[in-house]
Amino acid sequence: MKRLLNTLFVTTQGAYLCREGETVVVRADHETKLQVPIHTLSGIVCFGRVSCSPPLMGLCGERGVLISFHSEYGKFLARMHGPVSGNVLLRREQYRRADDPQSSSDIARSVVLAKISNCRTVLQRTLRDHPSNPNASALKKAAGSLARLLITLQESIALDVVRGREGEAARIYFNVFEHLILAQKDHFYFRDRSKRPPLDPMNALLSFLYAILAHDVTYALESVGLDPAVGFLHRDRPGRPGLALDLMEEFRPILADRVALSLVNRQQVKGKGFKRTETGAVLMDNKTRKEVLVAYQKRKTEEIQHPFIGEKVAVGLLPYVQALLMARFLRGDLDGYPPFIWR
């Protein structure tokens, strides 16, 4: 399997990244904070006021290292990549299938099915690890509703119906998400999902993790030659990475929600690490952000059995494996897109 390369996250405000030979140098406060060889990196993610020199961007473009820029909250702003790579036949097939309602809904159905099943596994894990959870019955009920929704996805349905089912599942899941928070309940609670901007610490945490995940999935898609912008479940909208968002669905529960919950439940992040601004928008401080990134990177190194390919895979490579499976399906090697199901 492809080596799990590192992502360099830069959160220091005012940092300047530049090239020195075959290395990336991070400068801040007039000194060199870090120097890493380019070949050990798969991506560079910048948060807030961070800048990059053109020669460094050139080096990254040449080596297929994706640079993305995010706001301080983690909201995606822009990304930089080198020459378009990969297979034109593959991309054309991707566009043809995206134009075809039947193909689109079949792929979307696979993705949504995996997302719902993985959300359900998140609920089941909490039930299993904390049998005395006072809200066990609500969690059980939600898991049951999700299982029933899954049955309705077994046969071909129109894309709009798939989207409706997804919305229903998200409602059921986020309705009981509150019950998955088992510690620091006065700081971390969950009423509903708010994104622009996140209005409470839990939402800030989730948004930040989703942004990083989107970067990873986008990079994985680009590395196999797919166009991250053209999706099946998510339709084209300029500036929106439709296919990256599609592929992300199956990973949100595993790679983001679980990481956020365990950071809170193990008290690795604290309420005081979040600042409520005058508009109600909630911001994370630098220390918290680092804590989240470390936990995310750690999660990526864990190994997991892939139920379709039947091999052990590092969690961090899952987006890449799924991107490959999507490409192999579009090129006719598989009779459908097999999403990742977490067990």
Q: Note the residues at the interface with other proteins (CB under 8 A).
A: 1-2, 62-64, 85-90, 110, 113-114, 117, 120, 124, 143-144, 146-148, 150-151, 153-154, 223-225, 307-311, 324-325, 328-329, 331-339, 341
Token pair in block for residue 59: 């080096």
On whether the CB atoms of residues 121 and 255 are closer than 8 A, the answer is no
Angle at 305 between CA 85 and CA 291, to 5 degrees: 75
Nearer to other proteins, 266 or 331 (CB): 331
What are the DSSP E strand ranges found in the chain? 6-10, 15-20, 23-28, 31-37, 41-47, 50-52, 66-70, 76-80, 274-276, 282-284, 303-305, 312-314
Question: Residue 81 annotated as binding?
Answer: no
Return d(Cα 326, Cα 160) in angstroms, integer: 22
Return d(Cα 254, Cα 202) in angstroms, integer: 16
What are the DSSP E strand ranges found in 219-277? 274-276
Residue 82 Cβ, how far from other proteins at the closest point, in Å? 8
Residue 113 Cβ, how far from other proteins at the closest point, in Å? 6
Residue 80 Cβ, how far from other proteins at the closest point, in Å? 16
Nearer to other proteins, 8 or 330 (CB): 330
Residue 116 Cβ, how far from other proteins at the closest point, in Å? 9
Quickly count helices (H) and strands (E) in the chain. Answer: 10, 12
Question: Residue 234 annotated as binding?
Answer: yes
Residue 315 Cβ, how far from other proteins at the closest point, in Å? 17
Token pair in block for residue 34: 């870090």
Nearer to other proteins, 89 or 158 (CB): 89
Nearer to other proteins, 287 or 331 (CB): 331
DSSP sequence for 78-147: EEE--S--S-HHHHHHHHHHHH-HHHHHHHHHHHHHHHHHHHHHHHHHHHHH-TT-TTHHHHHHHHHHHH
Return d(Cα 274, Cα 280) in angstroms, integer: 12
Nearer to other proteins, 196 or 343 (CB): 343
Return d(Cα 119, Cα 130) in angstroms, integer: 17
Nearer to other proteins, 3 or 185 (CB): 3
Question: Residue 222 annotated as binding?
Answer: no
Residue 124 Cβ, how far from other proteins at the closest point, in Å? 8
In degrees and rounded to multiples of 5, residue 131 shows phi and psi of -60, -25
Residue 137 Cβ, how far from other proteins at the closest point, in Å? 14
In degrees and rounded to multiples of 5, residue 207 shows phi and psi of -60, -40
Nearer to other proteins, 43 or 338 (CB): 338
Nearer to other proteins, 127 or 284 (CB): 127
DSSP character at residue 202: H
Return d(Cα 286, Cα 275) in angstroms, integer: 11
Residue 51 Cβ, how far from other proteins at the closest point, in Å? 25
For the annotated binding site, the residues are 166, 234, 249
For the annotated binding site for Mn(2+), the residues are 166, 234, 249
